């Protein structure tokens, strides 16, 4: 861990533009990390936001940013040599299953927290990975050449792979062959469907939740989901806890602390 409460200033070593909406910022720094954990990223004079680590190497890490709000548009505009502050990593991350048949389900920018997990799984010779990746269109499919594992692609508009949803591919797979564990990240409605499918097939799953965060270590309560504090108890939750989280795919808190329906929260987060 770098630090809990005071940002450490780091310089952008490289920027990779994936599309007009997505870019990855690389930093030459060794950082202890578990896939699924996140950093608090501070742009001086603007704000601080949580971002998952999307690539992790012994002396380098990266975050991937989708330009959709004031903060993220500024982050995507950063160039080599620009400075930001970071705190963390925070959260619990994914637990690697000791079993062999693994499902990975990524939706949109939910690919970013799952990417280091896939890297770890690919490095373990006993894992057979069934990998599903969906997005609005082919332009939003992140890291197209990164993984050795075959990806079952799908897009909302049919521009790449299956025209439809990741959950349709997961259900089709489970009709033919089981899985020992499913990892998922993406829109909450997608993850809720993945969870229900896994429950119907008695397969454990782990999903990474997103909520508005301030402190990153469980003090302010801005990111509560039911009785769980997402930044400290999550952001990755397993099936046992998900069964008790009545606010999962139901409610979330705005910056003001007001609870709203999850679709209203999602619209606010995209501003």
| Confidence band for 223, pLDDT divided at 50, 70 and 90 | confident
pLDDT of 178 > 70? The answer is: yes
Question: How far is the CA of 92 from the CAs of 119, 167, 231, in angstroms?
Answer: 18, 25, 8
**Taking residues 218-243, what's their average pLDDT?**
90
Q: Is the pLDDT of residue 105 over 70?
A: yes
pLDDT of residue 14: 97
Rounded distance, CA 112 to CA 117, Å?
10
Q: pLDDT confidence of 19, banded at 50, 70, 90? A: confident
- What pLDDT sits at residue 6? 84
Mean pLDDT of 42-50: 93
Which tokens hold the place of 171?
């259900």
pLDDT digits (tens, 9 = 90+) for 136-158: 999 999 999 999 999 999 999 99
**Residue 104 pLDDT exceeds 60:** yes
| Residues 6 or more apart in contact with residue 115 via CB below 8 angstroms | 54, 55, 64, 142, 143, 146
**Number of residues written out for the chain:** 271
- The number of angstroms, rounded, from the C-alpha of 117 to the middle of its chain's C-alpha atoms is 10
Confidence category of residue 271, pLDDT binned at 50, 70, 90: low
Instruction: Evaluate whether 155 touches 161 at the Cβ level (below 8 Å).
Output: yes
3: confidence class by pLDDT, cuts 50, 70, 90: low
Strand-pair category, 151-155 with 128-135: parallel
What percent of the chain is modeled with pLDDT above 90? 76
For position 259, what pLDDT does the model report? 87
Confidence of residue 262 (pLDDT cuts 50, 70, 90): confident
Question: Around Cβ 63, how many Cβ atoms within 10 Å?
Answer: 22
pLDDT band at residue 270, thresholds of 50, 70 and 90?
low
Q: What is the mean pLDDT of residues 14-24?
A: 92
Please check the confidence at residue 1 and state whether its pLDDT lies above 60: no
Using DSSP's 3-state secondary structure scheme, residue 121 falls into helix
Looking at residues 95-107, what average pLDDT do you find?
95
With cut-offs at 50, 70 and 90, classify the pLDDT of residue 68: confident
**Cα→Cα distances 101→170, 189, 251, Å:** 13, 24, 33
Most confident of 242-246, 253-257, 260-264: 242-246
Q: Rounded mean pLDDT of 54-75? A: 94
> By CB neighbour count within 10 A (0-12 exposed, 13-18 middle, 19+ buried), where does 171 fall?
middle
pLDDT averaged over every residue in the chain: 92
């Amino acid at each position: 861990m770098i630090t809990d409460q005071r940002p450490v200033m780091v310089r952008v070593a490289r920027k990779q533009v994936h599309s007009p909406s997505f870019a990855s910022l690389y930093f030459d720094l060794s950082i202890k990390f578990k896939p699924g954990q996140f950093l608090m990223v501070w742009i001086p004079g603007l704000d601080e936001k949580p971002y998952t680590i999307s690539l992790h190497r012994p002396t380098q890490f990266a975050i991937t940013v989708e330009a959709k709000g004031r903060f993220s548009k500024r982050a995507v505009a950063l160039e080599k040599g620009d400075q930001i502050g970071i705190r963390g990593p925070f959260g619990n991350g994914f637990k690697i299953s000791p079993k062999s048949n693994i499902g990975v389900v990524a939706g949109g920018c939910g690919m970013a927290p799952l990417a280091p997990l896939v890297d770890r799984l690919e490095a373990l010779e006993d894992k057979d990975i069934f990998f599903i990746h969906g997005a609005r269109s082919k332009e939003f499919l992140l890291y197209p050449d990164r993984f050795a594992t075959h990806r079952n692609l799908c897009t909302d508009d049919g521009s790449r792979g299956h025209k439809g949803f990741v959950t349709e591919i997961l259900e089709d797979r489970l009709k033919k062959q089981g899985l020992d564990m499913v990892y998922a990240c993406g829109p909450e409605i997608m993850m809720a469907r993945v969870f229900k499918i896994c429950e119907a097939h008695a397969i454990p799953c782990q999903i990474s939740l997103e909520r508005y965060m301030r402190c990153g270590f469980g003090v302010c309560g801005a990111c509560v989901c039911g009785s769980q504090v997402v930044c400290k108890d999550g952001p990755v939750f397993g099936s046992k806890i998900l069964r008790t989280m009545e606010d999962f795919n139901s409610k979330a808190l705005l910056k003001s602390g007001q609870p709203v329906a999850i679709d209203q929260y999602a619209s606010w987060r995209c501003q």
